[in-house]
Amino acid sequence: MKCPKCKANIKDDSKFCIRCGEIFFDYLGDINNLDSYNDLMRIYTKDKKFGIFSFKYFLFSFIYAFSKKMYFLGICGFLSIIVTKFGVSFVMFAIDSAPKKLGVAYLFYVTPLFMACAGLYLYCCFKFNEKYIEKAYLYITNLIRDNKDEDYSFLRRKVEQKRRPNFIVIFLSIILFIWLIFIQNMI
């Protein structure tokens, strides 16, 4: 099946497009105006088209995820960076001071850990946009279900409030990032 808005290939049983967030059918039953529902999706996602790979997540990792209130993916990105940073420092120390036998053990134990972290990070990069659209879809669906008697302007205000980033979390994320940079220099 193809999305009528962005022409992306999607699954036949999809309720929404994972690239642009377009809703395909009236899933809620009580909504008479599907256009207003799609307008709320555009407000939540800031009318952006999403690709398969999230370059913003790739570049800014957990800071970007926390700014979009995607906390699980932010924690996954943070942990993969932490493990990689401390692992690289540990391996560099071990290579300088360990016998050759220990170096072979690192090859078999530490390399899979690095590969797992890189795999987790790339998985998050590929799934971020899809999970973000899904989160927006679920939020708007629940908002409309819980506020059936409210008008469109009320729903629009609620969606605009929800999509605003939490600046305290972003600030703390930047502090964590700076800490990661300085901790590498101290080791």
Running along the chain, 187 residues long, what does each successive block of 10 average in pLDDT? Answer: 76 72 55 66 76 85 87 88 74 61 62 82 89 87 82 86 83 82 63
Residue 173 included in any domain: yes
Residue 7 included in any domain: no
Residue 170 included in any domain: yes
Tokens read off for 69: 């209130």
* Intra-chain end-to-end CA distance of the chain, in Å: 53
> How many CB atoms within 10 Å of residue 173?
22
Residue 145 included in any domain: yes
Angle at alpha carbon of residue 134, lines to 133 and 135, rounded to 5°: 90
Domain housing 93? 34-186
Q: How far apart are CA 34 and CA 141, in angstroms?
A: 12
Residue 12 included in any domain: no
Residue 28 included in any domain: no
Q: How many domains does the chain have?
A: 1
Residue 22 included in any domain: no
